Structure 1
């Protein structure tokens, strides 16, 4: 049940995130659905590639595909004023998707008996992969590589679950971890926490 709920939460959050970005770039309805699907499922595809799961398993997720489709269709039909108002919550949607998918990816790798390194990779790829694909398709520099602390929270989820500090069979701990990651991601946005950067023009910043 925990697995299914995290899947639904992450899928809806990222599908809406991709759809809103597509509309910001003035893509047509096809572009909206492509970007939304890529955001919602791209991370899972990358995760499967990295931990050795056949990619076609994506097509076994019929209910999730329909969930994402319905969410994007509703978003596309909303009045522009409402979408603009909703856009204020774009970072929160992205944070919720990151948290839900990072935890879900770590759980997936743990249940398959993968080592800690694979659990962390699964958490990171599931959590940030869709967003990276979304930004590339939208012609943007991937947020995870340049903006506030982002991937670090997915790494943390993988480490906590992979080392057993968060029990994969305890729903309360898992939901608590999702909430914690979401809150910390929003803190990093609000307070502009950043990892050290070094540019050729300004040096270390």
Structure 2
């Protein structure tokens, strides 16, 4: 039941995220559906490839596909004036998707008795894989590859689940809320991972 709830929450959150990004980039209706669907299901597909689940199992999620298509349609038909407020809610929706699928990825890998390293990677790629595909198709730099703290929270979920620190239903829900909160605090306070650049030096040499 926990897996089903998290699958539904994550699918809705990322379907909205992908559809809104497509609208921001002025894609047509096909582009809106494509970005919405790949954002919702891309991370799970990458996870299946990583931990040995047949990729074809993604097609067995009929109810989730219908749910995603319905949500994307709703976003596409929603009044544009209201959609312009996406800046206020988009990060929150994306944080929900990140947290949900990061936890699901870790749970799947744990269920298959994979080592800790695989659990952490499954958490990272399930939580951020759909967003990476979305950003690439939208011509944007993937959030997870910038200094912005995004994928690190997904990896933390995988670590905690992998070492057995979180293994009860209440603990999973608490972890979900914690990752969403940490992601929102990251944006609010502009927390960054360490980074370096040679761009300015190259400009000087040129």
| Separation (CA, whole Å) in 2 of partners of 1:176 and 1:98 | 15
Residue 62 of structure 1 corresponds to: 62
| Separation (CA, whole Å) in 2 of partners of 1:193 and 1:106 | 25
Preserved contact between residue 96 and residue 182 of structure 1 (Cα < 8 Å): yes
| Separation (CA, whole Å) in 1 of partners of 2:84 and 2:135 | 19
**Displacement of 1:52:** 1.3
Give the TM-score, by structure 2 length. 0.95
- After TM superposition, which residue ranges in structure 1, 4 or more long, deviate above 6 angstroms? none
**Displacement of 1:201:** 3.4
Preserved contact between residue 102 and residue 127 of structure 1 (Cα < 8 Å): yes
**Displacement of 1:87:** 3.8
Residue 109 of structure 2 corresponds to: 109
Instruction: Give SS of 2:165's match.
Output: coil
| Separation (CA, whole Å) in 2 of partners of 1:200 and 1:71 | 42
CA RMSD of aligned residues (A): 1.1
**Displacement of 1:79:** 0.5
Structure 2 residue ranges without an equivalent (≥5):
202-206
Residue 120 of structure 1 corresponds to: 120
Preserved contact between residue 95 and residue 185 of structure 1 (Cα < 8 Å): yes
After TM superposition, the structure 1 = structure 2 runs for residues 50-199 of structure 1, keeping only pairs within 5 Å, are: 50-167=50-167, 170-199=168-197
Preserved contact between residue 147 and residue 194 of structure 2 (Cα < 8 Å): no
Q: How many residues align?
A: 201
Residue 45 of structure 1 corresponds to: 45
Give the TM-score, by structure 1 length. 0.95
Preserved contact between residue 20 and residue 87 of structure 1 (Cα < 8 Å): no
Preserved contact between residue 147 and residue 195 of structure 2 (Cα < 8 Å): no
Preserved contact between residue 110 and residue 162 of structure 1 (Cα < 8 Å): yes
